[in-house]
Each structure stands twice: as C-alpha cells, then as structure tokens.
Amino acid sequence: MLLIRCPYCEAERPEVEFTYGGQAHIARPQNPSATTDDEWRDFLYIRANPRGIHYERWRHMHGCGRFFNAVRDTVTDKFVMTYKAGLPRPDQAELEAARS
C-alpha cells in the first residue's frame, strides 16, 4: 500500500482514496479558434513518458475531493513531493530538499 500526502488534508492517506489524473501543467490553449490542428493534437494527445521524474495530477477522490499535483519517480514509483493545484512546478532545489 502506497501512502500519498494530500496537500489539502496535510496528511498521508492510503492510495485507494486517490485517482490518477494524467500529466500536470498542460495549459488549455488561450485562443482555441486560432489554434492549429497540430497544436490541438499536441494539447490533446501528446504526453511525456519520462523515465524518472514525472509531474502529474492526482485527485483525492475519496477524501477531500480535490485535484492536486505530484512529482513521482517513474522508476522507483516513489512520490518526491505533492503540491496544491495552481502552484508552479517545483524547481530542482525544491525537489532535492523534498528528497532529503
């Protein structure tokens, strides 16, 4: 059983309370009618599939109900850190701090 820290509940909660929400920090086009087909394709379907650090969305579905963001290492499946939705991507220094 994986424990995931919900940044809203400020508590470690069991994996079964959460659902996965895909890659994080994908901004919807500001002006959809001016967006080309290729840009739409990239927005809708093209996702990173990194070996290592991955920024992703999770939802505390069976808890407080909120979406939030997480940094997870796809090799070890360990969560590096979680942070509230709307906050910027944590930088390398913050990740190092969270790891130690």
Partner 1 sequence: MQTHHPLAGRALPGAQGRVSIRPVEDCTRFILRIDPQNLGAASSVWGANLPPTIGGLVSGSGRIATCIGPDEWYLIAPLTEQDAIESAFAALYATTIHSLVDVSHREVGIAVDGPDAVLALQASIAFDIAAMLVGSGCRTIIDRVQIILLREGQDSFRVEVWNSFSDHVWNLLAGICREIELGV
User: Where on the chain is the footprint of partner 1 (CB under 8 A)?
Assistant: 1, 8-17, 62-66
- When the beta carbons of 59 and 72 are compared against partner 1, the nearer one is 59
Binding-site size, Zn ion (CB under 5 A): 6
6 binding Zn ion? (CB under 5 A) = yes
The one among 9, 26, 85, 95 contacting Zn ion by CB under 5 A: 9
When CB distances are held under 5 to 8 angstroms depending on the partner's kind, the choice from Zn ion, partner 1, none that residue 1 binds is: partner 1
With CA atoms as reference, report the closest residue to 83 among 2, 3, 10, 1.
Answer: 10
State the DSSP H helix or E strand holding residue 68, giving kind and residue range, or none if neither: strand 67-73
Q: Is the CB of residue 87 less than 8 Å from the CB of residue 33? A: no
8 binding Zn ion? (CB under 5 A) = yes
With CA atoms as reference, report the closest residue to 82 among 65, 64, 49, 57.
Answer: 57
